[in-house]
A and B are shown apart, each in its own frame.
Chain A
Amino acid sequence: MRRTVIIDPVTRANNQGRIEVVIEGGRVVDCRSSCFFFRGFEVMLEGRDPRDAPYFTERICGICSAAHATAAAFALENLAGVRPPRNGNILRNLILAADTLQNHIRHFYVLAVPDYVAMPEKPPFTPRYRRGYRLPAGVNARMIEHYFAALDVSRAAHEMVTALGGKAPFGHGIVAGGATVPPDAAVVLELRSRLGKIREFVRGKMLPDAHAIAEAYPEYFELGKRSVRLLQFGLFPADPERREFHFPGMVVEEDRSREVDAASITEHVRHAYFEENGAPRAPGFARPEPRPGKPGGHSWIKAPRYEGKAFEGGPLARLWITGRYRRGVSAMDRILARAYETDLLCNLMEQWLEELEPDRPVFIPFEVPKEGEGLGLTGSMRGNLLHFMRVERGRISRYDIITPSAWHFSPRDDLGRPGPVEEALLGTPVETPEEPVEVGRIVRSFDPCYACATHVMVGGRKVREFIV
């Protein structure tokens, strides 16, 4: 029997999306990933002061704001030909890493855990699905305690962002030209103390909890699978010049890997609510107008592709590229890789705190050129982030953003080929269509951020000259 199951809204994601699956013979034979809200950030950026871009684009996303600030600062620095001082680079890495700790801990406990753990029988945990929870009672109860503890720990991660940027989310600490809080002993000591507590939680609670879930739900190493097609932009520059990254950028296809070339990125809009003008575009080539309710469209997310193919980024891609985790590409692999990366980040941050030099500059003043273009690429919590900025007469005249969740949650491309989440869902066995727990678990393994995915308006011209 053929049957269509719609999950709308997909909750426990950053803002909400929609997944439609067609089930036949107990398996998903077709699916569509969609999203139904739209904001138009790139248009709003036109005419603004280029220095405002980091703070303004942070407002795209409440859970990964530091990533947008970073990409915008990179774009403006590339445009102006400046680089931050050594301290500035380290401090910005610390801010983005602390925001990532916050994101990973909240993703695991607040968004993913309720798929596997029977949460308390009261709102906001009810109503919920009744089947599919199989952790032993004691483990289940322990994880509920950790769920609430995780909220206090993730707040501590945001307090680190606050210490270096005045507030979180939307901290002020990442600006083009560097950072803003000098790393004196008081600041470094406070950060080390907070980091130590977070690390204790990650090692003592989060990693064992991730293992417990993996052990109880081993079939998820076989579900949500995709072929190995991973893409990652560089994350955390190892030097202010951004020659090396702690997590280097790379394209991986099965056993072949190569450098990232931004000119190979195109965006498809046939199945998105945008006017279609000819072939798929490179970011910054033309400016399709939004067209709500377009026939054949089913999403506000466009379909970014690399060399015409769907790629996946995020913690699993980063650990794969650096050779730290290569078990497979499945729902549970994504969850485990995110937990391992959280632990890894604690170590890196400890090292960066050691490298800070008190009384050395954190910011370099610079003139914003009246004309020019800048591309900012960075890895982020859940994948890859691209900001492109063109400045004319001292003002932003075009801005492009391609977010991680646009890659993951994209609809079909112009040739009808599925996006990564759609690929991951095809073939999934669904036991009870009334309670499609399998679908939600796979979707959430990507750490969905619909808020990021749907801001997009393409504009500007080709970015061919930028090779990463």
Chain B
Amino acid sequence: MTAREKILWLVTNSCLGDTVSFLNSSHPNYRQLIEEFFELCYNNFLSSAEGERAAEILSALAAGPSDAFTLVVEGTVPSAAEGLYCVLGYRRGRPWTALEAVRELAGKARYVVAAGTCAAFGGPYAAHPNPTGSLPVSKVVRRRVINVPGCPVHPDWLAGTLYHLARYGEPRLDEYNRPVLYFGETVHDRCERRHYFESGIFAREPGEPWCMYKIGCKGPVTHADCPVRQWSGEHTSWPVGANTPCIGCTSPEFPDGVAPFFEHLPDIGTPAVKVTANRVGLLTGAATALGIGAHLAANILSGRLAYTIRRGLGAAKKPASLLQKSHRRKVKQRDGKCAGP
């Protein structure tokens, strides 16, 4: 690589978990990331500049040439109260909201990358009832946003995507604009405990070494390579390896659509909150309706979906509709010929 790609990392309504996770990167480690592979212009956790000097970095990039940097956004962009729920600094005597800053800087950036589920899909900070009117980055800018979800994002997913962009251009993306390289298959498809699922050996409580499906595992509807990649930067373990369910944190419907975390059939109506099926979303809405019977179908289906995406055989269909269709197909197949992909 010749010049190192400049990275501008904007933290909006966030817990900073994605920055912290990025620091957990081992190969490359942080020093290599900022010295060999990228030039990190700004990140509010890591930059020495504070106050005006920090604001000037952003203003200069906003006023500078186009395509000079890649914009990474971590966090949601609040839209309620004219964006006043998240102010990044003061400019020309008035608050510079995240809403304005993201729009302005995205207009100049070579690529826009949403790091973590909040920036990619809304995530926890847009959870019901979404008091701040939080939106994912793709809903506030008029251009393609490459979504690298995860709560937090795995350091490999983000570093690898940034490297791909700098070195080879845009990676192959799925229908949610997630890189297929990392999000092409479901957790369930690659789970090390899949054989317990097939054999019907299920954990009854956290801490047991069996399949986590019945205590809420969302692996069957979650696209990510956690089972083979493992967490954190040094690939030590992962949630199912720690005898707990996958809670679907890379899904567009996280967290509302995959809650309760310890129930495999999400119940929707609650005394305090009225959540409509639309709000809860397609993926688990379908899973709820179909239950464990459909689950097998879902898993056959997701296998097909992954194949379709990975081989690049045209655009994938919406998983939910596919799920339902496959369930119908499965029911038909049960009557006649053998089931299976």
Interface residues of A (CB under 8 A from B): 6-16, 36-40, 43-44, 46-49, 51-52, 55-56, 59-63, 65, 106, 110-111, 114, 119, 122-129, 148, 151-152, 154-156, 158-159, 161-173, 175, 177-182, 190, 290, 292-293, 361-363, 365, 392-393, 395-397, 440, 451, 457
Residues of A within 8 A of B124 (CB): 44, 56, 59
The answer, yes or no, to whether B147 is at the interface (CB within 8 Å) is no
Q: Which of B40, B41, B57, B242 contacts A164 (CB 8 A)?
A: B242
Residues of B close to A169: CB separation below 8 A = 17, 20-21, 152
In Å, the complex CA distance between A275 and B46 comes to 35
Chain A nearest CB, measured from B39 CB (Å): 6
The minimal Cβ–Cβ distance linking B132 to chain A, given in whole angstroms, is 6
Q: Determine which of A55, A111, A365 lies in contact with B247 in the assembled complex, contact meaning CB atoms within 8 Å.
A: A55
Interface SS of chain B: loop
Taking CB atoms, residues of chain B closer than 8 Å to A16 are 11, 44, 88
Interface hub of B39, B54, B55, B78 (most chain A Cβ within 10 A): B54
- Asked if B17 and A170 sit within 8 Å, CB to CB, the answer is yes
Given A38-B132, A124-B40, A151-B31, also A180-B24 (CB < 8 A): no
Q: Do the beta carbons of B26 and A155 come within 8 Å of each other?
A: yes
B-to-A contact residues, CB < 8 Å = 11-21, 23-26, 29-31, 34, 39-51, 53-57, 78, 81, 84-90, 95, 98, 124-125, 127-132, 134, 151-152, 204-207, 231-234, 236-244, 247, 249, 255, 259-263, 270-273, 275
Q: Known contacts being A15-B11, A182-B207, is A52 close to B24, with CB within 8 Å?
A: no
Please, how many angstroms separate the alpha-carbon atoms of A362 and B260 in the complex? 22
Q: Closest CB of chain B to A369's CB: distance in Å?
A: 15
- Closest residue on chain B to residue A449 by CB atoms: B16
Q: How far is the CB of A296 from chain B (nearest CB, A)?
A: 16
Asked if A49 and B261 make an inter-chain contact with CB atoms under 8 angstroms apart, the answer reads yes
B243 touches A124 (CB 8 A): no
With beta carbons under 8 angstroms apart, the residue of A13, A166, A392 that contacts B271 is: A392
**Which residues from B are CB-within-8-Å of A60?**
15
A sample of 7 cross-chain residue pairs with beta-carbon separation below 8 angstroms, ordered by A number, consists of A16-B11, A44-B129, A62-B18, A127-B53, A155-B23, A166-B241, A293-B84
A36 to nearest B CB, angstroms?
A: 4
- CB contacts (< 8 Å) of A110 on chain B: these are 23, 45-46
CB distance from A87 to the nearest CB of B (A): 10
Contacts beyond the supplied A127-B49, A148-B30, A166-B244: 5 A-B pairs with Cβ under 8 Å: A36-B95, A56-B124, A170-B151, A172-B242, A180-B244
Report B-chain residues with C-beta under 8 Å of the C-beta of A43: 129, 131
User: In the complex, A99→B242 CA distance in Å?
Assistant: 16
Establish whether residues A39 and B125, one from each chain, have CB atoms under 8 Å apart when the complex forms. yes
Question: Which residues of the partner chain B approach A152 to less than 8 Å between Cβ atoms?
Answer: 26, 29
Shortest Cβ distance from B30 into chain A, in angstroms?
5
Q: Is the CB of A162 within 8 A of B232?
A: yes
Q: State whether A9 and B89 are in contact (beta carbons under 8 Å apart), knowing that A63-B16, A123-B39 are contacts in the complex.
A: yes
Chain A contacts for B21, CB-based, 8 A: 62, 168-169
A181 to B23, CA, bound (A): 25
Bound-state Cα–Cα, A126 to B45, Å: 14
Whole-angstrom CA separation of A63 from B134 in the bound complex? 22
| A65 and B42 contact, CB distance less than 8 A | no
